[in-house]
A and B are shown apart, each in its own frame.
Chain A
Amino acid sequence: MMDDFLAQLLPGFVDESAEIVERLTQHLIELEKAHDKTRFDDLARGLHTLKGSSATLGLEELSDLAHKMEDVVLPLRGKDIALPGAVADAVLATLDVWLANLRATNNKTELPALAPSVQLLESLRALVGAPPPKKNGSHVGAAQTPAQAAPAPAPAAHPAAKEAPPPPVAATPAAPAPEAEEAEPAQAEEAGSWRVRTRDVVALLHEVERLREVRLRVDERRRELDRTLAALTRLGMLAQTAEVRGQLAGVQRALASDGEEAADIVASMEEGLKAITTLPMRTILEPLRRTVRDVCKTTGKLARLSVVGGEVSLDRRILESLRGPLVHLVRNAVDHGIESPEVREGRGKHREGALVIRVEQQGNMLFIEVSDDGGGLDNARIKQVAIERNIVPTAEAEAMLPAQLHQLIFRNGFSTRGTVTEVSGRGVGMDVVRNEVQALQGHVEVQSTPGQGSRFLLSLPADLGSSPVLVVRCGEHQLGLPMSAIETSLLARFDEVKTSRERIQLVHREELLPLADLGALVGLRQAEQPQEGQPLLVLQSQGKRVALAVDEVIGDLELAIRPLPPEVRELPAYQGAATLARGELLLIVRPDWIAGLERKASAIASSRRALVVDDSLTARALHRTALEAGGYVVHTASNGRQALEQLRHASYDVLVVDIGMEEMDGFELTRAIRKKPEIAQVPVVLVSAHDSAADRQRGSEAGADAFLSKKECVSGRLVAEVSAVVARKQGAA
């Protein structure tokens, strides 16, 4: 039983040991390929540290096991040969067990058995020329005090080396005392470190985000002051207002300076928090080299993993969640993707497959690409499995394009492996990858070319940082688009817009690009042909270029994009939301969604269309609920002016209009509609919070076709009334 004081040290020792084991794993993988004295020495030091530190904490069995690892490694010191594969295998496997046992001790869970590892190591002693083991138990005696056990001076002072020094070890010059060298910085770091609860750091992150918003508000105030000064100047009376204008200009300069200082503080705080909350990606990527090595050994393949961008730092919690998906992707790439050396040679490729993990952070979006130069996804096999396992009907599978077939690999239980092997075939791989990435509010894409390889792209929001976003307006809605996807903006010219029955296209740089209306894409209004001079954006995503019509380009901002809450997270149209200066949220549209959309104008055109005009968000939601359930395509407007604007460009089968709106009430809107010949026949159903005979009378006089109180607006009643009105109008026509 460990005493309380030592038990307190255990969690720290687990973390430290995990780092050491990770480092030793890399050394073993490299030493297996070729001898490297520096790596060998560090391997020896690391094993010795594990042994000494575990003894310090009274973990004698673990100390013993570390010692036995030394026993098979140290006899090879000074030999200019690669580490024998059997030794590397045994020590790697033992390190896994060693760490698992330590973690189980810390978590007070069932301890993995150490005996098989001991036997494995013992069996290698002859191979490396080590002396037979001592009969009497521990190398680190139970009676030994921690102080005696911990600071083992140097590999040369190794007990085994003293007892029966084999020639290779004896021939090795004494190394400097590594533990002493390492302990100092470690202790210094310990003395200067604090334990902080995750939730406290997260709270601090939120405060920094608020500060960023304050900074944006300062900018907004400065712009307001600009407008005030301009208005004052327009008033004339320059002499009389000179003093006031001078004061305001001073405040304006001070605000600008404060805004810049606030921006610096935000940036500096973000950097500080980043250092606290993040770790480099390499901490989870480097261990994947071991995964590649192990899968290669099992499958008889050859592969080399290259990592680009391992220095990109990421939230520790995200890192931990990404570990599993990346292991799956890498194992799959070697097992399914990369061909055997013989096949690769036959295809004119290098015998050794190339596996690349590329990490890149753009603003607060993180992109991780896992690619291989293997055979690519087997479309025929995917199709066959999908049909055999009833994942999709045969006819549907036969009609699928390659990109659609590739999506099937993310289905639960999908595996093209005929049998379950040690590496794969259980059908629990890619669906897990997708689910885990989605749980991080991320997204997985796959691209594959037969014979050339596959590429998986994981995109995830990162907690810190901001991204440049272009803010645009569609009707009364503002939407954001990542600047990284915007190629250019221009104004529509009739001679460059080509309209056919099925599509609208833009002639841009001698290329015909599909042209869509952003407002229509997100269901705000009917698709319409762009007006002369209307702003257009050219976007590119996933290798596709599309043109997008918007009503106004408001400008670009540096914004922190946050994931949407779960109730709307599955909407493929949005990447997330960002907070604007006044605290309102801006939806960020996903460029790949726009680029990948199939135009379905004909399906929408055949549905009945209703325009709901109400200044209450909830009323609009309720009317939408009822009318969509009744088979209507519903567009909304929050005031009369906006409704008239929408009616100018699109036709509707019916309008549902609230009476009590500000600016232009429902009666006024109805009268305005009846005065315009081109829209005068559209049926109008007035809705009121109050059910008064006077309102009904006024509605009728204004030209409304029906009147409902909001308490009567239960789903069935509204749809019945609307349908009846539409039928009456059509009958009359």
Chain B
Amino acid sequence: MKITARTRETSSEQARVLLERRAERLREKPRDGADEEAVLWAAEFPVGEDSYALPLDALRAAVPLRMVTSVPLSPPHVIGILRFQGQILTAMSLSSLLGGRGWREDPAVLLVVDPGLGGRLVALDCERIPKPVSIPLALVEQARSRSSEAVIEVTLPGLKQLNLIDLKRLLDRRVQETRG
């Protein structure tokens, strides 16, 4: 299967170290002001023109999008499979899972996430390394009360729109669609 090295080996290694450091930083929740208001920590990233977020707890690593083996005959949202810490994971296109959004940059990063499927990990492509954001829980609950979809729209202070993804629901929905 074709393997595309997007950069030379040396810079890939540097990128890997950098990405690991960033993922580590993302996992460390900032403490300042944490006790002021109940918040949900999330990893925010762009998909095309819109901002999306995943609960930070679900994020396991951010790795370069390399060494992915495409799987002919797989559903279109499946980019391929890759090895991660001894496991074989499925890499999926988040944009495709979300229904085919446009994108600004070809994703170069894979987010390894735990969608809450019994410890099984999956990888999602991402245009940029996510940044940590805190979302007031009250706003999340408010959005959830309005919608039970896999992606809920949260309006942050300053009227910024953030699409919060419920990964388990998103993947379950995809499985049902594939089987249906």
Residue of B whose beta carbon sits closest to that of A586: B1
Interface residue? A715 (CB, 8 A)? yes
- One of B4, B73, B99 near A571 (C-beta < 8 A): B73
Instruction: Indicate if the CB atoms of B102 and A621 lie closer than 8 Å.
Output: no
Residues in chain B near residue A710, CB distance under 8 A: 102-106
If the complex has contacts A629-B100, A710-B103, A710-B104, are A583 and B93 also in contact, measured as CB distance less than 8 A? no
Nearest CB of A to B137, in Å: 31
Q: Which of A476, A585, A713 has most chain B Cβ within 10 Å?
A: A585
Interface residue? A209 (CB, 8 A)? yes
If the complex has contacts A523-B72, A616-B106, A711-B49, are A567 and B1 also in contact, measured as CB distance less than 8 A? no
Interface residue? B92 (CB, 8 A)? yes
Q: Mark A143-171, 1 if CB is under 8 A from B, else 0.
A: 00000000000000000000000000000
Interface residue? B71 (CB, 8 A)? yes
Interface residue? A573 (CB, 8 A)? yes
Which residues of A pack against B, CB within 8 Å? 206, 209-210, 476-479, 522-524, 562-568, 571, 573-574, 577, 579, 582-587, 614-622, 624-626, 628-629, 636, 638, 689, 709-715, 717
> What are 26 contact pairs spanning A and B, CB under 8 A?
A210-B86, A477-B1, A564-B88, A565-B81, A566-B120, A567-B78, A568-B74, A568-B78, A571-B71, A585-B67, A586-B69, A587-B69, A587-B71, A618-B107, A620-B70, A621-B78, A621-B79, A622-B95, A622-B103, A625-B76, A625-B96, A636-B70, A638-B2, A689-B104, A710-B104, A715-B100
Interface size on B, residues (CB 8 A): 47
Instruction: Indicate if the CB atoms of B77 and A565 lie closer than 8 Å.
Output: no
Instruction: Indicate if the CB atoms of B67 and A568 lie closer than 8 Å.
Output: no
- One of B68, B72, B100 near A617 (C-beta < 8 A): B68
Task: Please report the number of residue pairs spanning A and B whose Cβ atoms sit closer than 8 angstroms.
Answer: 144
- Going nearest first, the 5 A-B pairs with the smallest beta carbon separation are A715-B100, A206-B86, A616-B106, A625-B76, A567-B90
Complex Cα spacing A710 to B83, Å: 28
Residue of B whose beta carbon sits closest to that of A563: B88
Residues in chain B near residue A566, CB distance under 8 A: 90, 120
Residues in chain A near residue B90, CB distance under 8 A: 565-568
If the complex has contacts A522-B72, A584-B67, A587-B69, are A564 and B100 also in contact, measured as CB distance less than 8 A? no
- One of A524, A709, A712 near B72 (C-beta < 8 A): A524
Interface residue? B80 (CB, 8 A)? yes
Complex Cα spacing A346 to B102, Å: 72
Instruction: Indicate if the CB atoms of A714 and B100 lie closer than 8 Å.
Output: yes
Interface residue? B89 (CB, 8 A)? yes
Residues in chain A near residue B54, CB distance under 8 A: none
Instruction: Indicate if the CB atoms of A625 and B106 lie closer than 8 Å.
Output: no
Complex Cα spacing A206 to B95, Å: 32
Interface residue? B16 (CB, 8 A)? no
Residue of A whose beta carbon sits closest to that of B117: A566
Interface residue? B159 (CB, 8 A)? no
Residues in chain A near residue B25, CB distance under 8 A: none
Which residues of B pack against A, CB within 8 Å? 1-4, 48-49, 65, 67-83, 86-93, 95-96, 99-107, 120, 122, 125, 171
Complex Cα spacing A584 to B86, Å: 12
Nearest CB of A to B170, in Å: 12
Complex Cα spacing A596 to B32, Å: 62
If the complex has contacts A562-B88, A565-B90, A710-B102, are A618 and B73 also in contact, measured as CB distance less than 8 A? no
Complex Cα spacing A209 to B65, Å: 23
Instruction: Indicate if the CB atoms of B77 and A625 lie closer than 8 Å.
Output: yes
Nearest CB of B to A527, in Å: 14
Instruction: Indicate if the CB atoms of A622 and B96 lie closer than 8 Å.
Output: yes
Complex Cα spacing A209 to B88, Å: 13
Instruction: Indicate if the CB atoms of A584 and B69 lie closer than 8 Å.
Output: yes
Complex Cα spacing A713 to B99, Å: 12
Instruction: Indicate if the CB atoms of B102 and A585 lie closer than 8 Å.
Output: no
Instruction: Indicate if the CB atoms of A622 and B69 lie closer than 8 Å.
Output: no
Residues in chain A near residue B68, CB distance under 8 A: 617
Instruction: Indicate if the CB atoms of A711 and B102 lie closer than 8 Å.
Output: yes
Complex Cα spacing A270 to B103, Å: 47
Instruction: Indicate if the CB atoms of B1 and A585 lie closer than 8 Å.
Output: yes
Apart from A522-B72, A714-B102, what 13 extra A-B contacts exist at CB < 8 Å?
Answer: A477-B2, A477-B70, A573-B73, A583-B67, A583-B83, A584-B3, A585-B1, A585-B82, A617-B70, A625-B76, A710-B104, A711-B49, A711-B104
Nearest CB of B to A469, in Å: 13
Complex Cα spacing A210 to B103, Å: 36
Instruction: Indicate if the CB atoms of A479 and B95 lie closer than 8 Å.
Output: no
Q: Which of B72, B81, B87, B171 has most chain A Cβ within 10 Å?
A: B72
Complex Cα spacing A629 to B86, Å: 34
Residue of B whose beta carbon sits closest to that of A691: B104
Complex Cα spacing A566 to B106, Å: 26
If the complex has contacts A617-B68, A621-B78, are A587 and B1 also in contact, measured as CB distance less than 8 A? yes
Residues in chain B near residue A636, CB distance under 8 A: 70
Complex Cα spacing A555 to B1, Å: 14
If the complex has contacts A565-B120, A571-B73, are A715 and B99 also in contact, measured as CB distance less than 8 A? yes
Complex Cα spacing A626 to B48, Å: 15
Residues in chain B near residue A629, CB distance under 8 A: 76, 100
Complex Cα spacing A615 to B101, Å: 19
Instruction: Indicate if the CB atoms of B79 and A617 lie closer than 8 Å.
Output: yes
Complex Cα spacing A622 to B94, Å: 9
Residues in chain B near residue A478, CB distance under 8 A: 1-2
Complex Cα spacing A624 to B80, Å: 13
Nearest CB of B to A641, in Å: 12
Residues in chain A near residue B96, CB distance under 8 A: 621-622, 625
Residues in chain A near residue B103, CB distance under 8 A: 618-619, 622, 710-711, 713
Residue of B whose beta carbon sits closest to that of A689: B105
Instruction: Indicate if the CB atoms of A619 and B69 lie closer than 8 Å.
Output: no
Residues in chain B near residue A573, CB distance under 8 A: 72-73
Instruction: Indicate if the CB atoms of A585 and B88 lie closer than 8 Å.
Output: yes
Complex Cα spacing A41 to B66, Å: 65
If the complex has contacts A584-B3, A618-B65, A711-B49, are A626 and B78 also in contact, measured as CB distance less than 8 A? no
Complex Cα spacing A515 to B120, Å: 40
Residues in chain A near residue B2, CB distance under 8 A: 476-478, 638
Complex Cα spacing A621 to B89, Å: 17
If the complex has contacts A585-B81, A617-B70, are A567 and B88 also in contact, measured as CB distance less than 8 A? no
Instruction: Indicate if the CB atoms of B92 and A565 lie closer than 8 Å.
Output: no
Residues in chain B near residue A624, CB distance under 8 A: 76
Residues in chain B near residue A579, CB distance under 8 A: 83
Complex Cα spacing A583 to B87, Å: 12
Complex Cα spacing A43 to B117, Å: 47
Q: Which of A479, A621, A626 has most chain B Cβ within 10 Å?
A: A621
Complex Cα spacing A562 to B122, Å: 16
Residue of B whose beta carbon sits closest to that of A519: B72
Instruction: Indicate if the CB atoms of B125 and A618 lie closer than 8 Å.
Output: yes
Nearest CB of B to A719, in Å: 9
Complex Cα spacing A622 to B104, Å: 13
Residues in chain B near residue A711, CB distance under 8 A: 48-49, 102-104
